[in-house]
Amino acid sequence: MSQSTASSDWEIVIGLEVHVQLHTRAKVFASCGWGFGQEPNEQVDAVVLGLPGTLPVVNREAVERSILFGLVVGAEIPERCAWDRKNYFYPDNPKNYQLTQKDFPVVVGGKVEIELPGASRNVMGEHKWIRLHHAHLEEDVGKLSHAGGGSLVDYNRAGVPLLEIVTEPDLRSAAEAEAFLRSLVAMLTQAGVADCDMEKGQLRCDCNVSVRPRGATKLGTRTETKNLNSISGVRDTVIYESARQIRELQAGRAIVQETRGWNAEQGRGYVLRDKEDAHDYRYFPDPDIPTLLISRDTVQRLQQQVPENLYDRQRRYMEKLALPYTAASVLVAQRRLAEWFEEAVAAYPANPQGIANLIANDLLRDLAAGSAESSGEGVSTTPAKTVDDCPLKPAQLAALVKLTDEGLISKQQAKEVFAEMFKTGQDPMVIVEQKGLKQNSDTGELEKIVREVVADPAVAKSIAEYRAGNEKAINALKGPIMKRTQGKANPSLIDQLLRKILG
Ligand code: ADP
Ligand code: MG
C-alpha cells in the first residue's frame, strides 16, 4: 500500500454528540427547580438525591421541548419513547445510575442546514445538510471539584434535563463543525428549546474524529474527545486531533480507539481512557418509568410553535426584499429582531432595505450600547438591551423611513431623529416638528429664495458656466440657498427649481 504524505491526501470525518440543557423550570424527573449561580446543593430534593422510597415522574415540559427540537430539524417523533438505566458508580451520580434513553429515543433522524464561509454581497456561502442520527432525553449529573486533597460534590446540576443530539459522521472539517454548532444553537434558541449559554455549561460536546485516505469509503478508527464546552474548543480539537491521527498513520502506526480530553489552556488533547462499550454499563429498561406514549395531537400542537427556518428566512429576505447578505444575516440571527423587522416592513412595504439599514446599523448599535452601559457600575436606569425593551415600535421606525423617502427630512436628519425616538419612543413627526427639522417643501416660498440667489451677481460666473454646459456648476448655487433656508430646504426641490429658472 502506498503511503499518503500530504495532509490534503486525507479526509477528516467528524461526528458530534451535543448535550444541551433544556429550557425548563423543573428538573427532568423531579419537581425541584434549577438555575445557575445558586449555593451548592440548594437545588436538590429527595428524588434528585435518590433517597429510598422516591420515584421519578417525567417532566412534560422537558419532553415537549425535546419534541419541538425534533420538529425544528424535521425529525421523526416516534409513537413511544422509554428510559434506560446506565449503571456506573461515581459520586457525581447519587443513584449509581443515570436515566437515559438507549433504545427508544424521543427524536429519530432529522437534519440541520449549515452555511460555510465565503458569502458575498448578494450570494450566501455554500450550504450543506448534516444528518442527525437521533436525540435522546436524559438527566445531567452532579459536579465534582477536587481541591486541597479532597473532593467536593454539588448536586444542583444532577437531574437537569439534558437533550443529547447525535449527528451522523457527516462533518468534514473544523469549519463545518463550527458552522454546525452555530446553526444548532440558533435553532435551539429561536425555538425556545434551550438557551445554550456556554459560559454556564448549558451546551457541552463530545467530538468524534477519524481520518481516512481521500477517496476511501470505509471510515477510519475514531477517537472521542469528551466534554468540550465551547465552539472554539470543538474547532481546535478537530484541528489538533486530525493532525495527530494523520501523523500517526504516516508513521505507520494504527489509531487506537480511545476516549480523550482537551486542555484548552495548553491547546492540546490527552488520553483519558480506552473506549468503554455499551455493555460495560449494564443498561436495562428503567422499571420505574412506564413507556411514554406521544400522542399525535401533542405533536401537531407543537408543530405550530416551529419558527421559520433561519436560512429560509434569510433567502426570503434576499430574494423577495432584495436585502444584501450582511443585513439579512444580521436580522435572521435573532428571531425577535427578524419579527420586529417584518412588523416594520408590514407598516411600510415600499423600502425594506431602508428599514433593514436603520435596524442593522443604528438600532443594534444603540441596543449594544445599552447592554454595555447596564453591565457597568453605578447605573441607575436600565437601558434597552433587546428590541422588546426599547420604547421604539416597528411602525414608528417605518414612519421614519417613509418621511425620509418623501424627502421631508434628509438621511442625516433621520439618524438624529432615530436617536431621539430610540430614547423616548416618540413618533418621528413629533420630533421633526419639535426640532424644526422639517425640510422646506413649500415651492412658492422656496422659489422666491431661489430667484433672489440667482439674481445675486456673486453667482453670475457659475450660472454662465452651467449654461455653457458644465452641469456641476449648478452646485455652487445650492449652498447659498440652503444657508438662507437654514438647511431646511428639500435638496431635490432646490435642484428642480434651479433647473427650471436657469432654463
Ligand atoms: P458511541 O455511542 O459508542 O459513542 P456511536 O456509534 O453512537 O458511538 O457514535 C457516536 C458518534 O460518533 C456519532 O456522532 C457518530 O457520527 C460518530 N462516529 C462514529 N464513527 C465515526 C468515525 N469513524 N469517525 C468519526 N465519527 C464517527
Ligand atoms: Mg459517545
Q: Averaged over 214-226, what is the pLDDT?
A: 96
pLDDT digits (tens, 9 = 90+) for 376-413: 444 435 566 789 888 999 999 999 999 999 888 888 88
CA of 305 to the centre of ligand 1 (A): 31
**CA dist., res. 346 & res. 328, Å (int):** 17
For the CA of 221, the nearest atom of ligand 1: 23
Closest CA to 417 of 441, 406, 401: 401
Q: Verify whether ligand 1 is closer than 6 Å to residue 420 (CB atom).
A: no
Alpha helices by DSSP H, listed for 376-459, are: 394-405, 411-424, 428-434, 443-455
Q: Verify whether ligand 1 is closer than 6 Å to residue 105 (CB atom).
A: no
Which three-class secondary structure state does DSSP give residue 142?
coil
pLDDT digits (tens, 9 = 90+) for 12-46: 999 999 999 999 999 999 999 998 788 999 999 99
Q: Which amino acid is at 86?
A: K
Residue 54 grid coordinates:
422516591
* Residue 273 main-chain phi, psi, to 5 deg: -165, 170
Which distant-in-sequence residues (6+ apart) come within 8 Å of 44 by Cβ? 32, 155, 156, 158
Residue with cell 469549519: 175
pLDDT digits (tens, 9 = 90+) for 171-195: 999 999 999 999 999 999 999 999 9
Q: Verify whether ligand 1 is closer than 6 Å to residue 169 (CB atom).
A: yes
Q: Select from 16, 17, 181 the residue to mutate for testing ligand 1; criterion: most ligand atoms less than 8 Å from CB.
A: 17
Q: Verify whether ligand 1 is closer than 6 Å to residue 245 (CB atom).
A: no
Q: What angle do CA 22, 24, 28 make, to 5 degrees?
A: 80
DSSP 44-83: --TTTTT-TT------HHHHHHHHHHHHHTT-B--SEE--
Q: Where are the domains of the chain?
A: 17-209+275-302, 310-435, 443-502
Q: For residues 99 and 283, is the Cβ–Cβ distance under 8 A?
A: no
pLDDT given at position 407 = 80
Instruction: Look up the CATH architecture of domain 443-502.
Output: Orthogonal Bundle (1.10)
Residue with cell 451548592: 40
Q: Select from 14, 103, 170, 208 the residue to mutate for testing ligand 1; criterion: most ligand atoms less than 8 Å from CB.
A: 208
Q: Verify whether ligand 1 is closer than 6 Å to residue 222 (CB atom).
A: yes
**CA dist., res. 250 & res. 408, Å (int):** 71
For the CA of 17, the nearest atom of ligand 1: 14
Higher pLDDT among residues 495 and 211, named by residue: 211
Which pairing describes strands 223-228 and 258-263: parallel, antiparallel, or unpaired?
Answer: parallel
CA of 175 to the centre of ligand 1 (A): 19
Residue 1 pLDDT > 70: no
Q: For residues 138 and 101, is the Cβ–Cβ distance under 8 A?
A: yes
Number of H helices, E strands in the chain: 16, 16
